[in-house]
Amino acid sequence: MTTADEASSILSTVDTAARKVRAIRPTRALPLLVLGLVIVGATPFYVLTEPTSQEGAPPNQLFWSLGGMIGTRAGAWTGIYWIIALPVAYGFIAWCYRRAAQRNGVAINVRPLVITGVALFALLLVLLTQAPTFLPGDIVIRGLTPILTMAVGLFVWAVAERSKGLLAVALVFLAAAISTSLYDFGNVVPFVAWDVYWQYSLLPNLALCASILLVSSAIYAVVERRDRTIA
């Protein structure tokens, strides 16, 4: 076999191995789907129970209970939901990828996402309960700061994975998380009298963030399925 034939054979072997790895590699769509569903699950807790005229209140006046420490007037169960939902979601993601690695021998490193997400959420809780005035009131007033921790975790994961696709999703999601913490996107929804339906005014913010993750997850699922079919 000539040197050219040997090189061609090696390249063919490498290409075949790469296709096999793509065929059994766990999907990146799962974390996006899980985190998107967590936001969807939070929507009932963001139906406001009092008029938004108190929006200018200092954040430390909002931490009236375990639920209220998240910084929202949506009710005492809001904070409890996040305290339960986020650790469970990150734990489920880590478990799924560990199981896939044990089964297939091929893994995607989700530790940056899980560790960053959990650590930032824990830090957020400490700041909200021990030093609530440390965080700007404009950020915490809507109670969407847990989504910010998710966005930063997703960004760290994208950088660690060196994935341009994930990085694009992370940047869009981070921009949405910051924007929805600072602005009521219900104001740009036409034909809705928010002075009448004020109790639902935070739901467009949640819908925007959830949509970014769920649509991105669906796109990843389609693309990765196509890659597996080609492989």
The whole-number pLDDT of residue 55 equals 44
Q: Count how many residues are written for the chain.
A: 231
217 vs 42: CA distance, rounded Å: 19
The whole-number pLDDT of residue 10 equals 47
212 vs 198: CA distance, rounded Å: 24
The whole-number pLDDT of residue 231 equals 52
Splitting the chain (231 residues) into consecutive groups of 10 residues, what average pLDDT does each group show? 53 43 63 96 84 43 48 70 94 90 74 93 82 72 90 95 93 96 87 79 94 96 74 52
Instruction: Give CA separation, 114 vs 118, 135, 147, 188, in Å.
Output: 6, 23, 14, 33
Question: What distance, in Å, lies between the first and last C-alpha atoms of the chain?
Answer: 28
CB 108 within 8 A of CB 28: yes
Which ranges of 77-110 does DSSP label H, i.e. alpha helix? 77-104
The whole-number pLDDT of residue 69 equals 56
For the full predicted model, state whether its pTM sits above 0.75: yes
Per domain, the residue ranges of the chain are 29-230
The whole-number pLDDT of residue 108 equals 80
